[in-house]
Structure 1
């Protein structure tokens, strides 16, 4: 059984890609086979892994093509290997036009699920890095995965933005008659100052949020920025960084909720 998880927040700048990539590698370190999907037209995940559209010699090999045209021959041809121990289906420039091209199509919100049904059965986990905006691709991520990890920042708008994110998931649940599970709300890019401490305290006392908030946070570290700049992760760049342990805690939490406690 493949456990599908989308790392989503309709607000940009929350470090969604960093969380998705490091969670994937932490799961792989626990012996799980992991497939990463870059559903964001900005392709930050693909860039961070050194994978770009040059890997697609033909349009038929792209994720964008399969989402728009429906599953065609050789969907496995979109899967690339990475140096991080996880497989990747990367984004390319064509993803920028997918939402417009799908707007009048039948089953437009189910295209990712239909595609994943063809490619991820041999994986333990499929992680989807979704776009930082509402729309057809965001809906596709929620409907395909049904499990969500939500990164947030330590800023005054966090409580408002997280309620908006939860409300949007509720709307998708009602509209499509599904149940979506919030696996975790993860404070990310946390700064060592009073504003961050006050924001986190507010989140931990907010009904509807505190139930999902992780007891740990991913703190700002130069090592994380340098790792991403070098197109790698902390696990290769600086495994001794104190935040590696928190990514491992997130992986343990995900495994516990998806697979059950040992």
Structure 2
């Protein structure tokens, strides 16, 4: 599917299900990476252009989304310098916008030799060479060529799981239909940086969706969970034995917070909206995991190059 190429510094927030706050998660992780004096680019590959619409005012959004010459697809095929397309937000992150004709971009990828490499080679690599440090990619919700291109480019992912029907199935589809084939057939060593419960309610009660998500992830994917999402499995046995709500149960995952939702509606990371939000530390954890992964890979490449 792709040439044997190295991933560039960054991460894809992905799940093959819509409405799981992957865009919100990516925005907040990008902000915390930028807070460590890094130049961060967010790349919108979603057909719905949600991130682009979120971060731009109405006038700029209308101009960008309907301009055939000012979107990520033009940069992917060498028609324009990707740096010329970057839009800097008020909080310092750079946006590479999507387009209303993303379907045409995908079709062009399919009809181009090694089209899946275009995002990496023509967009992210040139920006990296110009001094941009990290790339946070917001992909489409479903599988396909554009999601593959995102994974080929940065070869890392953070997967958000919400306590709603279908999210665990979305995780299974992502692993089976995208991650595993790219690893096995495309020789792309995709790293799962983190699987994180997201939008968890404040209290976990018996038979709640929060309890089931926390239990399933701790049983099957514990090695991919950040420390804030790990729970002693004996806790769940206690819940089952008592058969009632417990007030002292650990609170795994990113919690539902009004300030996070309000910030997102205003096109802001929560740290730019409410510095007292208690969930910022978890976004910091995810940002640090991304940075550590990228630095470790860079060190390995230097050792391989110089011996």
The two structures have a TM-score, normalised by structure 1, of 0.90
Q: Match of 2:38?
A: 32
Deviation at 1:96, TM superposition (A): 3.8
> Cα 1:108–1:159, aligned 2, differ >3 Å: closer, same or farther?
same
Equivalences for residues 198-209 of structure 1 within 5 A: 198-206=212-220, 209=221
Q: SS at 2:12's partner residue?
A: strand
Contact 1:71–1:114 under 8 Å retained in 2: no
Q: Which consecutive unaligned segments of at least 5 residues does structure 1 have?
A: none
Q: Match of 2:16?
A: 10
Q: What is the aligned-residue RMSD (CA, Å)?
A: 2.0
How many Å separate the matches in 2 of 1:2 and 1:137? Answer: 17
Paired residue total: 256
How many Å separate the matches in 1 of 2:106 and 2:276? Answer: 41
Query: Can you list the C-alpha shifts for 1:70-114, whole angstroms capped at 9, x where unaligned?
Result: 113433211111112111101121224322343323222112112
Q: SS at 1:183's partner residue?
A: strand
Q: SS at 1:176's partner residue?
A: coil
Contact 1:53–1:91 under 8 Å retained in 2: no
Q: Match of 2:142?
A: 133
2:163 paired with 1:149: no
2:51 paired with 1:45: yes
2:252 paired with 1:252: no
Deviation at 1:257, TM superposition (A): 2.6
Deviation at 1:18, TM superposition (A): 0.6
Q: Which consecutive unaligned segments of at least 5 residues does structure 2 have?
A: 1-6, 229-252, 297-307
Deviation at 1:58, TM superposition (A): 5.0
Q: Match of 2:201?
A: 191
Q: SS at 2:216's partner residue?
A: helix
How many Å separate the matches in 2 of 1:253 and 1:74? Answer: 30
2:116 paired with 1:87: no
Deviation at 1:57, TM superposition (A): 8.3
Q: SS at 1:88's partner residue?
A: strand
How many Å separate the matches in 1 of 2:45 and 2:169? Answer: 25
Equivalences for residues 66-145 of structure 1 within 5 A: 66-67=75-76, 70-115=77-122, 116-121=124-129, 122-145=131-154
